[in-house]
Structure 1
Amino acid sequence: MKRLITQHTYISVTAVALMLALFSLVLFTPAWAYTLDKTQQEINLTNTIFGYLSLIIFVIGYIFVLAEEFTRLRKSKPIIIAAGLIWLIVGVGYAVHGDTETAGIAVRHNILDYAELFLFLLAAMTFINMMEERNVFAALRTWLVLKNFSLRQIYWITGTLAFFISPIADNLSTALLMGAVVLAVGNSHIKFVTVGCINIVVAANAGGAFSPFGDITTLMVWQQGVLQFKEFFSLFTPALVNWLVPAVMMSLVVEKAPPAFHKEHQQQMKTGGVTIILLFLMTIAVSVTTHSILNLPPVLGMMTGLGVLKVYGYYLSQHEPVVIDHGHIHHHHKDNIRDMSEIHGDHTDVVRRFDIFKVVERASWDTLMFFYGVVLCVGGLSTLGYLALLSDTLYGSLGTLWANILIGVLSAVIDNIPVMFAVLTMNPAMNTNEWLMVTLTTGVGGSLLSVGSAAGIALMGQAQGTYTFLSHLKWSWAIALGYVLSILTHLWINGV
């Protein structure tokens, strides 16, 4: 335990050091102001007490975010507080300079951006949780486990499925699903579990990079209108290279022998599972079509699909056989079930029906609230003038290519959500291929370290003691090779 805490402390210190190094470059670069829109001019407050205080608050808040693993303080809590304090300082700073309008306009613009992403993610998470409740993923896992594949076959099957499921179901859900399969069949094969988990993390992150639905960062790029839906698929081959290069190298240490495991209880898909999958695919199709043809925000299609899903949930609650508990009530709080009677004592008959609002409750609210804090923190620093300076420092001094490569490496240490939102807020002058490049590097760069992506962090918790930061670090050289070759592949296929 002590060693694990030390590892996370080291990563936290490294992340903060990199952040401070970047900000120090900004602090000593000549400041310049840039426009929020055509009518509102931002004031440069980078070299004032308001700017310094905001930077300090952001860094302190992010230290707590990075320390979540051993403080047990959810990452959304410190970052939301930091966001509020930063915007308070921004408002005071602008008011001191005689401007009481721009800060309010800027924060409302950020809140609107967040609202669209929040509703989109809430709808997507509800669909995924609904499929999980209907045992869609459990049925797939059971089928894989009971087929008696060899360890090497399971290694490639789980990696392939992770790569192709994550563009639809998001990389975090995909990693947890495939990780459960690896743990179920390989609990006595430590080396297999280790490389199997690494393979899943790399595959899920790579698969999520060529789809707007595969990762929050790609969703942000699509929602911002920087790239069109079909343009993301130009990253398919580079993403495939990013996964296959380390996957082939790691497969050499996986045994071909069949796994020794106890067959788990078979789980079948519940009624409505296939219908929900079709509804999800139709919802995605509607979102993409209305955005491409009518230029309507994708969130409109997703929320409409969520409404249809809720109506279908009502149908299930009325037609699915009810569950009646007789006698002692020891599980009346079971997930996704609504209590239909008053409880009097411990010996009461309880009728329980499916309730879709219980599914909505299971959305990752910490992630959604964390995203709020990130959007507003980055927006506040942008309004102070820091992101304009950072953009000038990175893209002006290093050039677009090296800046995009460096941003991908930074996303392995700093969460890729704030990294990508910062890039979108900077809005550097880049062509389509250059935006594809930064989308790729930010999406797959998190695979370099186990703590660089939500998928890696989740699997470390799922496979405690087996898949660790150090076990992942041993293969970082292979992942880095895949990272470099994926960039070269992108440059070769899509151009500079």
Structure 2
Amino acid sequence: MRALRLLVPFCLLMFPGLSIAVEPVADQALDLTTSWIGLACLVMFVVAYVLVVLEEWSGMRKSIPVLMAAGFIWTLIGVAYTLAGQPHAAGELVRHSLLEYGELLLFLLVAMTYVNTLQERGVFDALRGWLVSRGFSLRVVFWVTGGLAFLMSPLADNMTTALVLSSVALAVGGEQSRFVVVACINIVVAANAGGAFSPFGDITTLMVWQKGLLGAGEFMALLVPALVNWLVPAAIMSFAVPNGRPEAVGEVVQVKRGGYIIILMFVVTVAVTVTMHTAFHLPPALGMMGGLGLLKLYGWYLNWSALRRQGQPISFVSHDEMMSDHTEPHAPNTFREVARAEWDTLLFFYGIIVCVGGLGALGYLAAGSELIYEGLGAMTANVLVGVASAIIDNIPVMYAVLSMNPAMSDGHWLLVTLTAGVGGSLLSIGSAAGVAVMGQAHGRYTFFAHLRWSWAIALGYIASIAMHLWINKSLF
């Protein structure tokens, strides 16, 4: 019967005359899963997501189809509720999605601005230069880059981490494609695993944390399972690393003025954000925006002091001159770093959150929760979420789970956080880190090169789940 309920909309596609009219019911949520409106919205979402998946081939930015789908879906929902005699209900429903997106947007915007500023200051280039100039053996580079990816991704996003460290693998590996492939896979797996035990290490963990389902400290229970998720495939792939010690590359990069202080400011911003959320239950975005103000103040100081050294009278310097790129090469422009945020990604998140919120308003998420979580059980469902995230982006998958809000213990919420975070490593297209590295190591690290090692990554996936069930059994 549960499966039949989900099949009804597809039958209506073939026989529109069977559509069920919306009955006016005041101040109640409507079940539109078997109406033509619900069907049309579902089809629109599927079409939009297919276009997202085809982004690499079509050249259409992934934010475009989901933005259009979001507007289309909620327009039809508004029509349905108006016809049902509840003209204000759709507006109230969509505001919940907008609030969730607003908090996510502000948090990510600050994090991206800090990462962009650290890139501009040369911090990541300096790290890469130090690694390639050490003359490490290929085996040492394999383990060092993987370990750094695991440690960096809880603070820096996994895509930036993977890009920085894969550039090291490319520089050291040279023409040794066998090494480049396993090193890139190792970095992608480690970057995805490292973000799983931090509330701000991945978008999925951030959404769970902001939802209030788990405290910041509770994510640390996933440290050992996440480590196992990386170490198992890394140990297997290490046997494929060729012997050899390439010559050191003479690349020395100096960190620009203020770079190390900005690292400290980023750490302080995160610490204050966690404290404010834990102690006072304030939205994490509030603490991060305060940190953005601190970063801008420090950027202003660096520009101000640069102008002073040039002998220019500060009282006669305009705002545009103060923030221009030409004041001094060692002075950052924090406004430019805000503009350099991944706006296509941020707008994509908007489209996904609003679209999935619309599917929830239509009744599909409740039906899916009944079918998956009540039918299969939380354990099986949460394991399958990770597998699904290797094919479908983990953002809509996790947001759908959060919108379903199944009754689960902390252990199960940690489990779905783990699986959604690391499941994308099963395929190269399953995470932003994998897609980014494919572009950087074009022709060597490919979808099929990654697929040849998916069995080893799957063993790590299974082992991490088993480890979580064992060491955190008291949380279930």
When normalised by structure 2's length, the TM-score is 0.90
| Structure-1 separation of matches of 2:248 and 2:215 | 46
Distance 1:424 1:379, change over 3 A: same
Change in Cα spacing, 1:339 to 1:268, as seen in structure 2 (3 Å) is: closer
**Which whole-Å CA distance do the structure 1 matches of 2:69 and 2:100 have between them?**
18
Who is 1:378 aligned against? 356
Q: Is 1:473 aligned to 2:451, yes or no?
A: yes
1:389 to 367, 375, 380: 367
Cα shift at 1:274? 1.0
Unaligned runs of 5+ in 2: 10-25, 311-321
Q: Which residue of 2 aligns with 1:309?
A: 295
Report matched runs for 1:318-337 at 5 Å: 318-320=304-306
Task: State the SS of the aligned residue for 1:445.
Answer: helix
Check whether the contact 2:135–2:248 (CA below 8 A) recurs between aligned residues.
no
1:89-488 map, 5 Å: 89-260=76-247, 262-264=249-251, 266-320=252-306, 338=324, 354-488=332-466
The answer (yes or no) to whether the contact 1:162–1:203 under 8 Å persists in 2 is yes
Q: Secondary structure of 1:286's match?
A: helix
Describe the shift of the 1:57–1:485 C-alpha distance in structure 2 as closer, same or farther (beyond 3 A).
same
Structure 1: which 5+ residue stretches go unaligned?
Answer: 1-21, 30-38, 325-335, 342-349
Q: For each residue in 1:78-134, what CA deviation from the matched residue of structure 2 results, as whole angstroms up to 9, or x when unmatched?
A: 110001000001111111111112211011111111001000000010011111111
The structure 1 residue matched to 2:6, chosen from 1, 19, 26, is 26
Post-superposition offset of 1:184: 1.0
| Structure 1 residue 321 displacement after superposition | 7.0
Q: Retained in 1: the 8 A contact 2:117–2:332?
A: no
Q: What are the Cα deviations for residues 157-188 of structure 1, in whole angstroms up to 9, with x where unaligned?
A: 00000001101112111111111111111121
Residue 472 of structure 2 is matched in structure 1 by 494
Letter in 2 for 1:398: L
Residues 281-319 of structure 1: per-residue CA shift (max 9 Å, x gap):
111111000111111111110000100100000011122
CA-to-partner distance for each residue in 1:396-419, whole Å, 9 max, x for gaps?
110000000111100000000000
CA distance in 2, matches of 1:483, 1:217: 17
Question: Quick one: which amino acid aligns to residue 282 of structure 1?
Answer: V
What secondary structure, in the 3-state scheme, does the structure 1 residue paired with 2:324 have?
A: strand
Q: Quote how far apart the aligned CAs of 1:447 are.
A: 0.3
Alpha-carbon distance in structure 2 between the residues aligned to 1:185 and 1:340: 35
Distance 1:283 1:249 in 2: 38
Rounded Cα–Cα distance in structure 2 between residues aligned with 1:420 and 1:136: 32
2:153–2:161 contact (8 Å) kept in structure 1: yes
Paired letter, 1:366: D
2: CA distance between counterparts of 1:352 and 1:441? 43
Write the distance in 1 (CA, Å) between the matches of 2:123 and 2:39. Answer: 50
CA distance 1:322–1:413, change in 2 (3 Å): farther
Matching residue of 1:33: none
- Normalised to the residue count of structure 1, the TM-score between the two structures is 0.87
Answer yes or no: is the 8 Å Cα contact 1:184–1:261 preserved in 2. no
**352 and 294 in structure 1: CA distance in 2 versus 1, 3 angstrom threshold:** closer
Q: Deviations over 1:218-264 (max 9, x none)?
A: 10010110110000000001101110000000000102311246433
Q: Please tell me whether the aligned partners of residues 338 and 353 of structure 1 are also in contact (alpha carbons under 8 angstroms).
A: no
**Alpha-carbon separation, structure 1, partners of 2:242 and 2:113:** 38
**Contact 1:187-1:261 within 8 A present in 2 as well:** no
Flag the 1:312–1:352 CA change in 2: closer, same or farther, 3 A. Answer: closer
State the secondary structure of the residue aligned to 1:263.
coil
Letter in structure 1 aligned against 2:225: P
The corresponding residue for 2:19 is: none
Match of 1:16 in 2: none
Q: Give secondary structure in 2 for the equivalent of 1:258.
A: coil
Distance 1:402 1:351 in 2: 55
Q: Per-residue CA shift, 1:34-80, capped at 9, x if unaligned?
A: xxxxx963110000000000011001100110000111111001110
Deviation at 1:322, TM superposition (A): 9.8
Read off the aligned partner of 1:121 and give its amino acid letter.
L
Distance 1:195 1:217, change over 3 A: same
Distance 1:216 1:25 in 2: 32
The equivalent of 2:316 in structure 1 is none
Aligned position for 1:73: 60
Runs of 4+ in 1 over 6 A off after TM superposition: 22-25, 321-324
**Residue number in structure 1 paired with 2:43:** 56
Q: Do the aligned residues in 2 keep the contact of 1:82 with 1:377 (CA within 8 Å)?
A: yes
After superposition, the C-alpha distances for 1:315-372 in whole angstroms (9 at most, x for unaligned) are: 1112237999xxxxxxxxxxx972569xxxxxxxx99964211111111001000000
Q: Which amino acid aligns with 1:433?
A: G
Cα distance in structure 1, aligned partners of 2:406 and 2:65: 29
CA distance in 2, matches of 1:100, 1:354: 50
Distance 1:40 1:240 in 2: 49
What is the rounded CA distance, in whole Å, between the counterparts of 1:52 and 1:173 in structure 2?
Answer: 39
Distance between the aligned counterparts of 2:246 and 2:329, measured in 1? Answer: 42
Conserved? CA contact 1:136–1:269, under 8 Å: yes
CA contact under 8 A between 2:257 and 2:331: conserved in structure 1? no
CA distance in 2, matches of 1:26, 1:395: 15
